[in-house]
Amino acid sequence: MLIYTVRPGDTLADISRRYGVPPNRIAADNLLQNPSVLVPGQNLLINTNSVRYILPEGQTLFSISQEYDVPLEELIAANPDLNPLNLRPGQTVIIPLSQPAARRPILVNGYAYPSINTNALNCVLPFLTFLSPFSYTMTPQAELIPPDDSELIYRAQRSGVMPIMVVTNIFDEGFSTESLSGILASEELQERLISNILAELDEKRYYGVNMDIEYIAPEDREAYNSFLERLAVRLHEQSYILITALAPKISADQPGILYEAHDYAAQGRIADYVIIMTYEWGYTYVRHASDYQQVIKQTILVICGSEFWILLRITFAAAGKFT
C-alpha cells in the first residue's frame, strides 16, 4: 500500500498501468466521484504490495534499490527473470514495497452533516473511532439548538463507533464572538450551558462532547480556559469525555482572532483529546505541506509532552466536513 501524489497530466489509466491496479479499484478506494478529473497535488491510496517500473536508459537495479529504499537482494528476488548484468531499456522491474512496521493505534474522528450521503458514510464508518454530527448551535442565552442527529447516532452505535456531541458558537449565519463573550461573562449562563450539554448527552447517549468554539475574542482566552475546566470536571464526574477543536497554530503567539484565544497548553491539559483544525485553511487558501508540518511540531512541542491523543480527522469534500 502506498500514497501516490497526482502530477500534471496524470490520468487514472496512467496510474493504473504504472502500479498494476485496476482503475475502478483506485477510484473505489479513493471515493472518486469523477475519476476522469484528477487534480495535481491530490493524494491517492494505491492498494498494492509492489510497483511496476519501466526501465529507462542507464538505470540499474542498484540505482533503483537506492531510489526506492529497497534492499538490492529483495529487488533481485522479486525479479527472477531479469539478468541484473544485462538490463535493457523498456524492461519491467517489480519493486516490492516493504511491509510497515508495527505502529501505534490511532483514533479517527469524522464530522458529519445530517444530510451526508449514505454510501459515503457506509464507506468510512468501519475506520472511525468517533462520529460527530455537526452541530449543536447556541443562542446568546446559552440554549442549545440540536441538529437532526438521531439517524447518525443510530448508525454510529450499530457500527461500534462512538457518537460525539458537537457544540459550536454558531449563531444566525456564523460563529459569533459576541454571543460567546456574553456567556463567558456570566456564571449563570455558563452553568446553564453546561447543564444543557449534560442533559443532551444523557438523553441521546452520546459518549462525550466536542467543543468546536471558534473566533473567540482574545480577551476571553482565560475565561474560555476556565469554562473548559469547569465543563471537564462535570463531564468526568459522569464518565463523559471532552474533546476540543484547536485552530492550526505555527507559534504560540500567532496573531488573528481565529488563533489567539486557543491556548494549546491549557486545552492539552484540560481536554481528553484535541482536534487540530487545519481544514480551516481550506476555506480560503491553499497551504504547503511545510505549513502542516509546522503545526504538528507546535502541537508536539506544547501538548505532547505526556501521553496525549491528537485525533486524526477524516475529511470529505473541499470544506473538510462530511457532506
Q: Which residues are catalytic?
A: 214
Strand ranges in 42-193 using DSSP code E only, listed in sequence order: 43-46, 50-54, 92-96, 108-112, 130-133, 137-138, 144-145, 162-163, 165-168, 170-171, 174-175
**Would you say 88 and 296 are in contact if contact means Cβ atoms under 8 Å apart?**
no
Across the chain, the runs of DSSP E, i.e. the strands, are 2-5, 43-46, 50-54, 92-96, 108-112, 130-133, 137-138, 144-145, 162-163, 165-168, 170-171, 174-175, 208-212, 241-246, 273-276, 309-310, 312-314
CB atoms within 10 A of CB 269: 15
Using alpha carbons, select from 76, 78, 49 the residue that is nearest to residue 62. 76
Cell of 103: 505502529
